[in-house]
């Protein structure tokens, strides 16, 4: 029977070896075996398992603590935004003339759990912003942006800007007074920028004035353009994190006893 | 970091990494607990605070106060403060945030020391404390800027009694009409997208002020209906603005 490589589980979690007298399976394929067969079939065609092993069974240095979960917490908040966003998009109509506001009303008042999902999307945005700043703070305090992780940092800053842009473009969509006027002012501030400022504002507004197509443009940017870019960049960010390894906390020092050259260095 | 320092770092890191534990399941377990906390907090916030909708957007109303989400308060506050320095206006509103962004992007390139312990990086530590304090302060004061729907100004002492009356009455109309959403008058209102009106009376004669109010440049709304329906209010509005010297 094909076997997956055994994960380095702690003792308690390791499967116990079969004892004599346990019931035999006979010829029936147990669910585990069936699963393994399917995975094996996929692996024969895709060779995915070395990649997964590389991703999951790499080592993380000793001493890492809870502050290191902030990056994946940000990722999780983003996933939550993606899922709740898809549900909102099923009911939302980006039509300023008579649709956008009404469809948000409908979500809030009539759709089953609509207000709850809308609220999760709204507050999830704040949670993601807080987490991304905390993650950046951890990286800064631990000096984790230094050699060889400079590029990880740069991609991270881009992710920060894109996340804030999600907040900005999403704010208009409910199309209530607050949304509308904050966006008018925001776009106008943009137009004061050097070089690309005026062009950027015209692009956002879809013309020289805040008009009918502005809303659908914000919507397209908010739910297609920026999320696409964020997903691609998170992929790169995580590739680099895996490739370079997660930093050890800066106060953890190598034992003087261990002889560097005797340690195999293939992991890095 | 020079070449020797880089090599030392890589060598020490590979030892620490080898002494570590596998990502799955050890780190994954912590990450999952954290993920559960995150989703719990998001659901809790949604249940507690919901997602209220305000009144529907109406481009013709002029009484609305633009307010961004809380995490942009610091930016609005920077812009509000910067706009009071007219010379720098175009530079400052976008320039200051842009410079901060560039500084953030390039951090690994100007901070090149191999030291990673924060207590041995005094410059980095002070910069971090300063940044956090500045952001907290700006967010706080951005959240507490006076309501842009009222003008908090005393009439200047050198006015006649009648002028003082016009001043107070006109200030009320300004507040009600939402001018402060886009203009700054003294220490009231948002700076932008409209020009500051603090000294508008010395720049434009009353007739020009009145005609601008009736035929404004977009996105400013027209106050023609105010002039037709309640001419007294309109007169007070023009009177107040021309008294801003
Ligand atoms: C959508 C936003 C982001 C996601 C999903 C994300 C995700 C992650 C994850 C999962 C890690 C692994 C280690 C950890 O969790 O601490 C990581 C590491 C890292 N992140 Fe992010 N990150 C984001 C934004 C940022 C930002 C804004 C920065 C900095 C400006 C940044 C810089 C870094 C660096 C330098 C590392 C390597 C740290 C180390 O090896 O100790 N990331 N990121």
Give residue-wise pLDDT tens across range A122-179.
999 999 999 999 999 999 999 999 999 999 999 999 999 999 999 999 999 999 888 8
Please indicate, yes or no, if residue B63 is contained in any of the structural domains.
Answer: no
Number of folded domains in chain B? 3
Closest CA to A178 of B6, B61, B237: B61
Please indicate, yes or no, if residue B200 is contained in any of the structural domains.
Answer: yes
- Residue B20: its chain A contacts at CB < 8 A? 59-62, 64, 248
Give the closest residue (by CA) to ligand 1 atom 23: A156
Closest CA to A241 of A158, A163, A160, A155: A155
Give the closest residue (by CA) to ligand 1 atom 9: A71
Does residue B213 have a pLDDT over 80? yes
Residues of the domain holding B25: 14-50
* Most confident by average pLDDT, A160-164, A254-258, B239-243: A160-164
Closest partner CB to A120 (pick from B37, B43, B65): B43
- Tell me what the pLDDT averaged over chain B comes to: 84
Instruction: Kindly state the tokens that stand for B17.
Output: 């990494």
Residues A240, B8 contacting (CB under 8 angstroms): no
For A30-97, list the strands marked E by DSSP: 59-60
The SS3 assignment for B192 reads coil
CA angle (A241 as vertex; A239, A246 as ends), nearest 5 = 155
- Residue A149: its chain B contacts at CB < 8 A? 108
Write the CA distances from A144 to A61, A105, A137, B125, B233, integer angstroms.
Answer: 13, 45, 10, 14, 62
Does residue B215 have a pLDDT over 90? no
The SS3 assignment for A176 reads strand
Please indicate, yes or no, if residue A264 is contained in any of the structural domains.
Answer: no
Which of A66, A139, A142, A231, when mutated, tests ligand 1's pocket best, judged by the most ligand atoms within 8 Å of its CB? A139
* Most confident by average pLDDT, A232-241, B7-16, B82-91, B211-220: A232-241
pLDDT band at B85 (very low <50, low <70, confident <90, very high): low
Q: What is the ipTM of this complex?
A: 0.84
Residues of the domain holding A219: 66-245
Give me the pLDDT at residue A58, please: 92
Residue A64 beta carbon below 6 angstroms from any ligand 1 atom: no
Closest CA to A169 of A158, A160, A178, A179: A179
**Which ligand 1 atom sits closest to the C-alpha of A149?**
35
Closest partner CB to A119 (pick from B21, B49, B193): B49
Please indicate, yes or no, if residue B37 is contained in any of the structural domains.
Answer: yes
Nearest-Cα distance to chain A for B214, in Å, is: 19
Number of folded domains in chain A? 1
Cβ contact A60–B41 (<8 Å): no
The SS3 assignment for B56 reads strand
Measured distance CA(B162)–CA(B245) in Å, rounded? 17
pLDDT band at A180 (very low <50, low <70, confident <90, very high): confident
Q: Which long-range contacts (CB under 8 A, 24 or more apart) does A10-15 make?
A: A13/B25
The CATH number covering residue A91 comes to 1.20.810.10
Write the CA distances from A201 to A97, A184, B77, integer angstroms.
Answer: 21, 10, 21
* Closest-CA residue of chain B to A193: B94
Cα of B145 vs its chain's centroid, Å: 10
- Read off the pLDDT of each residue in B101-124 and give the average, rounded to a whole number: 93
Closest CA to A99 of A223, A207, A212: A212
Please indicate, yes or no, if residue A206 is contained in any of the structural domains.
Answer: yes
Residue A131 beta carbon below 6 angstroms from any ligand 1 atom: no
- Read off the pLDDT of each residue in B182-201 and give the average, rounded to a whole number: 79
For chain A, list the strands marked E by DSSP: 59-60
Please indicate, yes or no, if residue A110 is contained in any of the structural domains.
Answer: yes
- Residue B12: its chain A contacts at CB < 8 A? 254, 260
């Amino acid at each position: 029977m094909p076997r997956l490589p055994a994960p380095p589980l702690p003792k308690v979690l390791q499967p116990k070896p079969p004892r004599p007298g346990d019931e035999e399976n006979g010829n029936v394929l147990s669910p585990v075996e069936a699963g393994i067969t399917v995975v094996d079939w996929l692996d024969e065609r895709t060779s995915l398992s070395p990649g997964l092993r590389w991703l999951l069974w790499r080592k993380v240095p000793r001493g890492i603590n809870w502050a290191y979960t902030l990056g994946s917490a940000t990722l999780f908040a983003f996933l939550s935004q993606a899922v709740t966003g898809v549900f909102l998009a099923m009911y939302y109509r980006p039509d300023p003339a008579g649709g956008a506001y009404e469809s948000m009303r409908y979500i809030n008042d009539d759709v089953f759990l609509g207000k709850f999902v809308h609220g999760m999307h709204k507050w999830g945005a704040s949670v993601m912003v807080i987490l991304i700043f905390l993650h950046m703070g951890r990286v800064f305090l631990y000096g984790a942006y230094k050699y060889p992780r400079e590029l990880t940092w740069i991609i991270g800053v881009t992710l920060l800007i894109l996340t804030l842009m999600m907040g900005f473009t999403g704010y208009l969509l409910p199309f209530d007074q607050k949304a509308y006027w904050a966006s008018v002012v925001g776009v106008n501030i943009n137009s004061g920028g050097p070089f690309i400022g005026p062009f950027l504002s015209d692009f956002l507004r879809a013309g020289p004035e805040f008009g009918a197509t502005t809303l659908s443009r914000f919507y397209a940017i908010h739910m297609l353009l920026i999320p696409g870019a964020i997903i691609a960049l998170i992929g790169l960010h995580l590739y680099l994190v895996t490739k370079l390894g997660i930093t050890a906390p800066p106060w953890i020092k190598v034992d003087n006893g261990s002889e560097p050259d005797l340690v195999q260095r293939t992991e890095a | 970091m020079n070449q020797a320092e880089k090599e030392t770092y890589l060598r020490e890191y590979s030892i620490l990494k080898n002494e570590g534990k596998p990502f799955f399941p050890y780190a994954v377990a912590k990450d999952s607990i954290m993920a559960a906390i995150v989703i719990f907090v998001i659901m809790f916030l949604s249940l507690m605070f919901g997602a209220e909708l305000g009144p529907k957007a109406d481009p013709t109303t002029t009484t609305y106060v633009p307010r961004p989400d809380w995490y942009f308060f610091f930016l609005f506050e920077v812009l509000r403060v910067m706009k009071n320095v007219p010379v720098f206006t175009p530079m400052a509103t976008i320039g200051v945030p842009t410079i901060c962004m560039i500084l953030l992007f390039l951090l690994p390139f100007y901070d090149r020391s191999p030291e990673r312990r924060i207590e041995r990086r005094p410059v980095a530590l002070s910069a971090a404390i300063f940044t956090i304090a500045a952001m907290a302060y700006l967010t706080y004061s951005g959240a507490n800027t006076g309501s842009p729907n009222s003008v908090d100004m005393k009439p200047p002492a050198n006015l006649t009694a009648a002028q003082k009356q016009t001043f107070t009455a006109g200030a009320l109309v300004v507040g009600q009409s939402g001018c402060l959403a886009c203009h700054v008058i003294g220490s009231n209102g948002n700076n932008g997208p409209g020009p500051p009106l603090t000294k508008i009376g010395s720049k434009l004669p009353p007739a020009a002020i009145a005609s601008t109010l009736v035929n404004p440049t977009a996105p400013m709304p027209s106050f023609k209906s105010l002039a037709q329906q309640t001419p007294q209010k309109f007169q007070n509005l023009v009177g107040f603005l021309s008294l801003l010297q």
